[in-house]
Every structure is written in structure tokens, then in C-alpha cells.
Amino acid sequence: MTLVFKIVIVYALILGLLLLNQNRLIFRPSRDFPLKPSQFALQPEEVHFKSADGTDLHGWFFSSGENAPYLLFCHGNAGNISDRLPNIKLLLEIPINAFIFDYRGYGLSQGKPTEKGVYEDTEAAYEFLHKKKRAKPEYITIFGRSLGGAIAIELALRKPVGSMILESTFYSLKDLVGRIFPYMLFYPFIPSRFNNGEKIKNIHVPVLFIHGDADTTVPWTQGKKLFEAANHPKEFWLVKGAHHTDAYEINPTEYLSRLRDFILTTR
């Protein structure tokens, strides 16, 4: 067996393992709840609902009154809804009605996460707001952070919404991981999943982009590239000193002010 043939075999085996374990590499769910609403003096409604395929899902609905706008929070690929409670606590000061839920396999939601599955789960969360809470589509803002931004973009293609906020979101998964060694060696074979850059060209609602200039997980240039592909009206806010998930902690006053202005003026 020649050296070249051995290299080809090893390459093929590694590629196969990467492709077979895509979901494990992308989704990092947790069942544990390190934080609880009571720790933040919050008393949400416990929501149990079903995805289109019958998967049992769980979320929290935080009410600020019927006249407040609605925010559907799509979290990132790791942890679960409990990790986002400090962010929710701040956002409720806008004030808004906030619904944060767990995709399948996260927290108390059943099943295992897949790209198709999390899209269906988010549609079900939207339907909860629209039908159960009677939220008008033009009063619903989708918020997506990191991978949640990709999920929010897909929802905006499927359902009418008033506006969208994308924080720390990448142009496409292939574009992102293709720049990281050793994934760059397999770039031609990386599936075109979560292709946000192409999808956003077909979305015509106001979009606020937020990205930290110290984000090493998803470099801010990825967010800027996605912003440039989007239609108007749109706004890009580069948060000085912020990393991947802490923009609301780095500058909470401006964070709250910008999101309040965006949500209330686009409803």
C-alpha cells in the first residue's frame, strides 16, 4: 500500500466521521437548569407544546401585558433556556412579552436535535404566540443569537413577522467552519447547512445586527458579511469589547436602549 493511498484512506475515514457526527458537532444541548426564574424574581408561565411531528417541547412565557410587543427568543447551540435568564431579565425592561423555548433535546424538550427538527420546533413556538397568545405577526420580533440567528432567519422565510434581531450570527456554517483548521481540509465536502447569507436575501423586514468586536467564536466579519447581504431597512451595531454571548453584559444600558428603539419603532 503506497503512502498516497494510506493518506487517502485516512482522509476518507476522517471525512466520514465528521459527516456522521454533524449533529453532535453542531448541537450541544444540556438537560440541567443551572439557573431558575425565581433567582431573578421572575414568574413565567410554564409552556408545554408540540412540534409538527408530535415532539413535546417546553418553554417559558414572560408577560408584560397585552399591549406590549412580542419577542420570540431563539437561543444558540449550547445549554438551554435557563442560561439565557439574565438576558431575558434585561429585555423585559423594554417592556416586552418574551417567549423563550428549548429545541428538541434541550432542557425539558424531548427528542434529539436536527436542523429540520429545530426549524419545526421554532415554527411551533411561533404558532404558540400567534394562536394561543393572539400575537399579531407585525408585533412579533424574532431574536436569534449565534446558531439561533440561523434558526430565526429560517422562521422569517416561513412565517410573517414584524422584525428580526440577529446577534453573533454567521454568514453560513460552511463559510464559518471552512476557515478553521482542520475543517478547511474538508471544505469542498462540508454540507451547505444553515446558509444564512443566501436565505436573508429573501427576507424583507427590518433587521438589527449585533456583534462583538472581540468575538472569536464567530468573528464579527461574519456578521458584517451577513448584514451586507440583507435587504434594507437594516442596522449593524459593533459592540466594543464584547465576545460571543456577552454584548448585553458589556454595555447593558446601550444594549437595552438600542433594542427598545428598534422593537418599538418597527412594530
Torsion over CA: 184, 188, 191, 195 (sign): positive
Whether the predicted pLDDT of 187 surpasses 50:
no
Task: Report if residue 122 sits inside a domain.
Answer: yes
Task: Report if residue 8 sits inside a domain.
Answer: no
Task: Report if residue 6 sits inside a domain.
Answer: no
Specify the pLDDT at position 186.
43
Task: Report if residue 33 sits inside a domain.
Answer: no
Question: How far apart, in whole angstroms, are the C-alpha atoms of residue 93 and residue 35?
Answer: 19
Task: Report if residue 16 sits inside a domain.
Answer: no
What does the buried/exposed string (b/e) look like for 180-216 if buried means 16 or more CB atoms within 10 Å of the residue's CB?
A: eeeeeeeeeebeeebbbbebbeebebbbbbbbbeebe
As a whole-number percent, the residues of the chain with pLDDT over 90 amount to 79
- Cell 408530535: give the residue: 54
Task: Tell me the pLDDT of the chain averaged across its residues.
Answer: 89
Question: How far apart, in whole angstroms, are the C-alpha atoms of residue 92 and residue 207?
Answer: 20
Which range, 8-12, 47-51, 112-116, is most confident? 47-51
Give the model confidence (pLDDT) of 130-152 as tens digits: 999 999 999 999 999 999 999 99
Domain count, the chain: 1
Banded pLDDT at 193 (limits 50, 70, 90): confident
The secondary structure of residue 66, as a DSSP letter, is T
**What residues are labeled active site?**
146, 215, 244
Q: Sheet with 140-145: list strands edge to edge.
A: 45-50, 56-62, 97-102, 70-74, 140-145, 163-167, 207-212, 234-239
Cell numbers linked to 58: 417546553
Task: Report if residue 14 sits inside a domain.
Answer: no
Specify the pLDDT at position 46.
98
Specify the CATH number for the domain of residue 171. 3.40.50.1820
Task: Report if residue 134 sits inside a domain.
Answer: yes
Whether the predicted pLDDT of 48 surpasses 50:
yes
pTM for this predicted structure: 0.89
Question: How far apart, in whole angstroms, are the C-alpha atoms of residue 68 and residue 86?
Answer: 20
Range of the domain at 219: 39-265
- Cell 429585555: give the residue: 91
* Nearest one of 193, 257, 244 to 214, comparing CA atoms: 244
Task: Report if residue 43 sits inside a domain.
Answer: yes
Specify the pLDDT at position 184.
45
Which range, 32-36, 171-175, 185-189, is most confident? 32-36
Whether the predicted pLDDT of 22 surpasses 70:
no
As a whole-number percent, the residues of the chain with pLDDT over 70 amount to 85
